[in-house]
Structure 1
Amino acid sequence: MSVEGQRCLCIVVLLTHTAIGSGEGPTPPPLTSASPTVKAEQNELTVSFPPLEDLYNNTPEKHFGTENNTVVTSQTGSTALLPCVIRNIGDGIVSWIRRKDYHLLTVGLTTYSSDQRFQAIHLQHSEDWTLKVKFVQKRDAGTYECQVSSHPPTSIFLRLDVIEARAEISGPTEKYLKPGSTLRLQCSVVQTTEAPAFVFWYHNSRMINYDYEFGINVTTDPAQRLSDLLIPAASVTHAGNYTCVPNNAVPASIYVHIFNGENPAAMQSSSPTFIPHLNFHLLLPLTTLHFVSR
């Protein structure tokens, strides 16, 4: 073979080797329905990330669970609880502020006020930051702000209304009875937000709730805010001032007169309309004599 022929043969062999080495080979037989399907992309490792704006949009938004301008009513001497529920607070810090003088009461669980009646109540993992006010006074009434630190801070406002519970004894402020009659007094506690723990009755300055041996019977229904005093057969010793004293309300008093035969109206000598009883039979001769003498 000539030199040119050898050179051409070498080129053909080199090209054939390069084609086989590069992966090009005989065409594989077509896949049948029973043959497994192999996808090239299964051998590839791919990682995808959502857009940053989607990450921020999926973050739970902080908001208040307590309605703005909530009104809490409490009576003097009781404990007031002002709720402040905050959803998804994150790293926020809750502060309570008294709006009428912009006085900072609490920050977190720390009380900043010199008045230790104010306290923030929060249980671990709870969303509620309640302001507790002990021994409520009338001056505590007003608007309070629950503020969460953020940029800018967010707040809601709550109003505390303070009422004064009082006792009332039904009927007039004075009673007139004859000896042996029944004395019944009923005391009700009004303008109250909670039932009284107890109701004491006083006769003059003596507490008589347990004076059974003197014929005195006291029954109290705290749920109904009622207390009854019963003396089946009142005597002169039962006359005097009776006072109903609930533990959480202003007391009420009534005066009981026990008379024996005399006109009960005569006991109201302090009344401006009282006119003493006159014996017209005695006055008649004097009047007649007066006219005759003229």
Structure 2
Amino acid sequence: MKVKPTDAAFYDCQLSAHPPRTARVTLRVPEVSIRIVDGAGAVVTEQVCEVGSTVALRCEVRGLKMEGGPSLLWHRREFLLNDDTTRGGISVRTEFGANGANSVLRVARVRGDDAGAYSCSVARAPSPEPQPAHVILHVIKGESLAELHQGSKMVDLDTTLVTLTIVIVLLRLYIV
């Protein structure tokens, strides 16, 4: 029988004897969560990096005792990612705690074909099986992230400066 969070309750077991004997059991079903987060701990569904850089994706599992039981797995499409991956430059480091695990997938020397969907899941988890977390990795070629971030701001700033200069010149003409 698969246990669901809605099954959490007090259950009584009664022995038919005289006088009747009752034992109360509390069933707790923890809420299990899997999420991929950034360095600040905010959930991410997309991440951008540059060709040649190293990217780190961090997966957090909460509400599940992981030591000696379920294992945490990283996949890219249907391929399992670990230190034995033929791509090279891939490492997975997982730390287990009393209430879950933290796992970091590092991809060194990112290539264009590293772009795509990555997932973090728990194998051999007790019921209910938690849903995997997903992130899309975008790889930028040729332009730095700084140029992309500054590019749109620089155009806005240049336009604002030109407009402001024209307004000042016109004000001076009308004031004098």
Q: Please name the residue that 2:139 is paired with.
A: 258
Q: Larger relative CO (CA 8 A, sep 6+): 1 or 2?
A: 2
Give the drift of 1:144: 0.9
In the alignment, the residues of structure 1 paired with residue 160 and residue 59 of structure 2 have an alpha-carbon distance, to the nearest angstrom, of 48
In the alignment, the residues of structure 2 paired with residue 178 and residue 215 of structure 1 have an alpha-carbon distance, to the nearest angstrom, of 18
In the alignment, the residues of structure 2 paired with residue 167 and residue 201 of structure 1 have an alpha-carbon distance, to the nearest angstrom, of 12
In the alignment, the residues of structure 1 paired with residue 32 and residue 144 of structure 2 have an alpha-carbon distance, to the nearest angstrom, of 39
1:213 matched to 2:86: yes
Which segments of 5 or more consecutive residues in structure 2 lack a partner in the other structure? 171-176
Structure 2 letter corresponding to 1:169: I
Whether the aligned pair in 2 keeps the contact of 1:221 and 1:227 (CA below 8 Å) is yes
In the alignment, the residues of structure 2 paired with residue 141 and residue 216 of structure 1 have an alpha-carbon distance, to the nearest angstrom, of 44
Q: 1:258–1:194: structure 2 CA closer, same or farther, 3 Å change rule?
A: closer
Give the drift of 1:191: 0.9
CA deviation map 1:96-143 (0-9, x unaligned):
xxxxxxxxxxxxxxxxxxxxx3xxxxxxxxxxxxxxxxx321232111
Whether the aligned pair in 2 keeps the contact of 1:169 and 1:254 (CA below 8 Å) is yes
Q: Please name the residue that 2:7 is paired with.
A: 140
Give the drift of 1:237: 1.9
Q: Please name the residue that 2:174 is paired with.
A: none
Whose radius of gyration is greater, 1 or 2? 1
Q: CA RMSD in A?
A: 3.7
Q: 1:254–1:232: structure 2 CA closer, same or farther, 3 Å change rule?
A: same
In the alignment, the residues of structure 1 paired with residue 157 and residue 8 of structure 2 have an alpha-carbon distance, to the nearest angstrom, of 61
CA deviation map 1:32-59 (0-9, x unaligned):
xxxxxxxxxxxxxxxxxxxxxxxxxxxx
Matches within 5 A, 1:1-294: 117=1, 135-171=2-38, 172=42, 173=44, 174-195=46-67, 196-203=69-76, 205-209=77-81, 212-215=85-88, 217-219=90-92, 221=94, 223-224=96-97, 225-247=101-123, 248=125, 249-259=130-140, 260-263=142-145, 266=148, 277-278=155-156, 280=158, 284=162, 288=166
Give the drift of 1:226: 3.6
TM-score (ref. length: structure 2): 0.65
- Which structure is higher in strand share? 2
Q: Please name the residue that 1:97 is paired with.
A: none
Identity of aligned residues (%): 24
Paired residue total:
154
Whether the aligned pair in 1 keeps the contact of 2:89 and 2:109 (CA below 8 Å) is no
Give the match's secondary structure for 1:162: coil
Which segments of 5 or more consecutive residues in structure 1 lack a partner in the other structure? 1-116, 118-134, 268-273
